Amino acid sequence: MRNMFKGSIRTSVLREAIDAIRAIVDEAKFNLTPTGISVRAVDAANVAMVSLELPDSAFESYSVENKITIGIDLSKFADLLKMGDPDSICELELVDSSRLKIKMGSLNYSISLLEPSTIKRDPKIPEIELPAEVILKGSDFRRGIKASEPIGDYLVIEINTKPVETFTMETEGDVDKVTLSLTKDDVFSISVVGEEKVRSMFGIEYLKEISKVTSGADEVKLKVGNDFPIDISFLLGDASVRYLLAPRIEAD
Amino acid sequence: MRNMFKGSIRTSVLREAIDAIRAIVDEAKFNLTPTGISVRAVDAANVAMVSLELPDSAFESYSVENKITIGIDLSKFADLLKMGDPDSICELELVDSSRLKIKMGSLNYSISLLEPSTIKRDPKIPEIELPAEVILKGSDFRRGIKASEPIGDYLVIEINTKPVETFTMETEGDVDKVTLSLTKDDVFSISVVGEEKVRSMFGIEYLKEISKVTSGADEVKLKVGNDFPIDISFLLGDASVRYLLAPRIEAD
Amino acid sequence: MRNMFKGSIRTSVLREAIDAIRAIVDEAKFNLTPTGISVRAVDAANVAMVSLELPDSAFESYSVENKITIGIDLSKFADLLKMGDPDSICELELVDSSRLKIKMGSLNYSISLLEPSTIKRDPKIPEIELPAEVILKGSDFRRGIKASEPIGDYLVIEINTKPVETFTMETEGDVDKVTLSLTKDDVFSISVVGEEKVRSMFGIEYLKEISKVTSGADEVKLKVGNDFPIDISFLLGDASVRYLLAPRIEAD
């Protein structure tokens, strides 16, 4: 019997991809298709969604006979990937639908997979139009969230055009307040369509996990509306990652 | 209304100054005067006192209209200062007597201050004449204290002239003993006036916290008497820091 | 009265030697003889044995008048050695049979020794003939054990000649499995006498502690039999270290 899936990929690339999904969930279904791997998952509280596209071009070699879905325990997988040299090539092989072989140099793992039907169903990505967009450095996004952590539990993201185009991250605690403001010159691009400003508030715990992943990206694109989900997308090498995070309603 | 206080200072300098006070207390009153900032605080057990002088020359820019005293939660302040690049310039602004603005690059904090009357009163610095003095490397002072930690809870500091000028830090536990001895050649200067030797004993927990701060100083001056407080002073850039630590009585 | 023992040794060398014994026991008897120091100890469960030979050539200076045995609390000793610069020379002096002086630069410790009769008796090294031997990099041995830790509690070590000379470390958990396989070209040497393959299983906790020590060695020699103890030996500079670890019986 031929392998259902066989591929090889730089260990560091695979690690980053797994970490991107782990920011939201502990286990996930991986859809293997002839053109690449895709993952879509939503957290237990239905607040955050992640979508990962790992195209066959991200691999050194890649072959899938027929579309198949496998379930992976992400913590275990991440632990094992840490045992390999980040620069090594990681060889993956699906022997049957319940076992994955992982080879990094002289190290061979064979791990049991999760039954996909036991994992939360793939979310449907909602179709939403978001009027404002900013592209900024992943490290700046991370910095704004880290700076907010000692102050409070919610973070307001605002994009303004008046008086000048400004991207703001703001957290207000009971008595203290922090604001990170980046103007047009500090970001790659910024725009708002049809409104003067947009503003939505989010739970900082989710943003914290997400921003650990984005800090590895040169550019992060944020799409924002008024009390709408935020759409966070970026590239990790050939992989593309996207998060949708539901807003919290601000009490006035 | 004009600002009550406005100043800018290298973030790393401010961090070091705050850490020097935090070695002894969690909150403190800062006296802002036209020539600089001074802090004086004593710990809850009345065992250790810290005095910090941060002259206007330590700042890039500095202006105070009228003398004012503000109360600061040091842990919170230190946490926020960690969010800025150490080499960045930190801009401070006192809007009213209850709120401080802190700006580091694109990051803006606004924190509530403590009501000064709720903080322990400024201690009066006792006038004491101490007969012996040694100036040594901050790292040597730190080393002597670290080496004592596994052995016991008290540390004896002794300065001797006979047979040769010697500075000694000694801790005796139930069964073990450690001594750090530095002679004239190992220190910058050493002298005892009117006595052959002086010796006082101190709690190691206090010295531990203080020595973390002194380890950043090139030279630390210690003034010592017989069963008298120790006077520990040093410079951190333009700032001058001084600790007075009460002795423990040795049971013979 | 002359010193019973006096010696000086690079602090880092002494640290490594103490850490090698600490992998197995918390306290040990040190046999001081005119030609060097030897330690032999077995753990409380009688599963692992360590033997350390620290010849006088490992010392900068060394003198012992008459053979003497002293008892040392290894954790305390290791803690104190951390206080010295690793590149400094550590001077040791046995004043009487119950106190050891340790001098590292200006730092002087005097520690009480353990009464040797209170420490578990020196084990007799069993005479065993082991048919297979492999010499590999200490870092490879460490890697095989680290990679096994997330998978299970026991590790099988196998040396094979058919189809090609192969050294294998394998751990099988309830559902997952890991194998590190090194062939002739990956190791310094490999041989099996009189059998085609040998295989023994060991507790991973012991191997974990031992491999932390071996990771500092360029070459580690393993001698293996069929359900027999493993003999692990290597050099740390002039010191030679050897562990014997009893096998676990495999349930089929």
Could you give the ipTM of this predicted complex? 0.86
Is residue A221's pLDDT more than 90? yes
| CB contact set of A65 (below 8 Å; sequence gap of 6+) | A2, A3, A4, A5, A34
Q: Which of B139, B151, B156 to mutate to test the interface with C (most CBs of C within 10 A)?
A: B151
Task: Check residues A137 and B196 and name the one with the higher pLDDT.
Answer: A137
C142 plus C109 within the same structural domain: no
Chain C residue set in contact with B, beta carbons under 8 Å: 76, 79-80, 83, 106-112
Residue with tokens 């022997």: A95
Domain final residue, candidates B57, B88, B118: B118
Domain final residue, candidates C118, C143, C175: C118
Q: Which of A88, A102, A104, A109 to mutate to test the interface with C (most CBs of C within 10 A)?
A: A109
Distance, in angstroms, between A177 CA and closest chain B CA? 5
Chain B residue set in contact with A, beta carbons under 8 Å: 76, 79-80, 83, 106-112
B200 plus B167 within the same structural domain: yes
B201 plus B162 within the same structural domain: yes
Q: Are strands A68-73 and A89-96 parallel, antiparallel or unpaired?
A: unpaired
Contact assignment for B180 to C106 by CB distance below 8 Å? yes
In chain B, % of residues over pLDDT 70: 98
Dist CA B25 CA B13 (whole Å): 19
Contact assignment for B178 to C79 by CB distance below 8 Å? no
Question: Any idea what the CATH number is for the domain that residue B191 is in?
Answer: 3.70.10.10
Dist CA A234 CA C34 (whole Å): 68
C187 plus C99 within the same structural domain: no
Three-class SS state of A202: strand
pLDDT at A2: 63
C75 plus C153 within the same structural domain: no
Whether residue A64 is contained in a domain is answered as: yes
C201 plus C164 within the same structural domain: yes
pLDDT at A96: 87
Residue A20 corresponds to which tokens in the numbers above? 């991107």
Is residue C206's pLDDT more than 70? yes
Task: Check residues B7 and C3 and name the one with the higher pLDDT.
Answer: B7
**Residue A80 carries which side chain, given as an amino acid letter?**
L
Contact assignment for C106 to B186 by CB distance below 8 Å? yes
* Rounded average pLDDT over A64-80: 95
Domain final residue, candidates B118, B153, B179: B118
Q: What's the longest Cα–Cα distance across chain B?
A: 66
* Rounded average pLDDT over B67-96: 95
Q: How far apart are the two ends of chain B, measured CA to CA in Å? A: 64
Residue with tokens 């350390």: C52
Distance, in angstroms, between A106 CA and closest chain C CA? 5
**Residue C127 carries which side chain, given as an amino acid letter?**
E
| CB contact set of B139 (below 8 Å; sequence gap of 6+) | B215
By Cβ distance, the residue of A107, A111, A112 closest to C180 is A107
Dist CA A26 CA A38 (whole Å): 16
Dist CA B53 CA B234 (whole Å): 11
> What does the angle CA C31 – CA C34 – CA C35 come to, to the nearest 5 degrees?
85
Q: Which residue of A has its CA nearest to C172?
A: A110
Three-class SS state of B79: helix
Whether residue A89 is contained in a domain is answered as: yes
The alpha-helical segments, DSSP class H, found in chain B are 11-22, 74-81, 138-148, 204-214
* Nearest CA-CA partner of C157 in C173, C171, C178, C138: C171
Whether residue B124 is contained in a domain is answered as: no
The DSSP secondary structure of C112-181, one letter per residue, reads EPBPGGGSPPPPPPP----SEEEEEEHHHHHHHHHHHTTT-SEEEEEEE-SSS-EEEEEEE-SS-EEEEE
B144 plus B240 within the same structural domain: yes
C87 plus C191 within the same structural domain: no
Dist CA A27 CA A43 (whole Å): 10
Residue A251: band (very low, low, confident or very high) from pLDDT cuts 50, 70, 90: low
A146 plus A107 within the same structural domain: no
Average pLDDT of chain C, as a whole number: 94
Whether residue B156 is contained in a domain is answered as: yes
- Chains A and B form CB pairs within 8 A to the count of 38
pLDDT at C252: 59
Contact assignment for C107 to B180 by CB distance below 8 Å? yes
Report chain B residues whose CB lies below 8 A from the CB of A147. 80, 83, 107, 109
By Cβ distance, the residue of B76, B107, B112 closest to A150 is B76
Instruction: Give the chains touching B; criterion: ≥3 Cβ pairs < 8 Å.
Output: A, C
Task: Lowest mean pLDDT of A21-35, A117-131, B211-225, C3-17, name the range.
Answer: A117-131
B59 plus B85 within the same structural domain: yes
C10 plus C55 within the same structural domain: yes
Whether residue C124 is contained in a domain is answered as: no
Average pLDDT of chain B, as a whole number: 94
Q: Which residue of B has its CA nearest to C83?
A: B147
Is residue B162's pLDDT more than 80? yes
* Nearest CA-CA partner of A54 in A90, A88, A99: A90
Q: What kind and span of H or E run contains A128?
A: none
pLDDT at C124: 85
* Nearest CA-CA partner of B14 in B65, B100, B87: B87
By Cβ distance, the residue of A106, A107, A109 closest to C176 is A109
Whether residue A76 is contained in a domain is answered as: yes
Look at chain C and report how many structural domains it folds into: 2
DSSP conformational letter for A58: G
Whether residue A84 is contained in a domain is answered as: yes
CA A183, A185, A190, A194 torsion-angle sign: positive
By Cβ distance, the residue of A83, A110, A111 closest to C147 is A83
Whether residue C126 is contained in a domain is answered as: no
B233 plus B138 within the same structural domain: yes
Are C61 and C249 in contact by the 8 Å Cβ rule? The answer is no
Domain that holds residue B15: 5-118
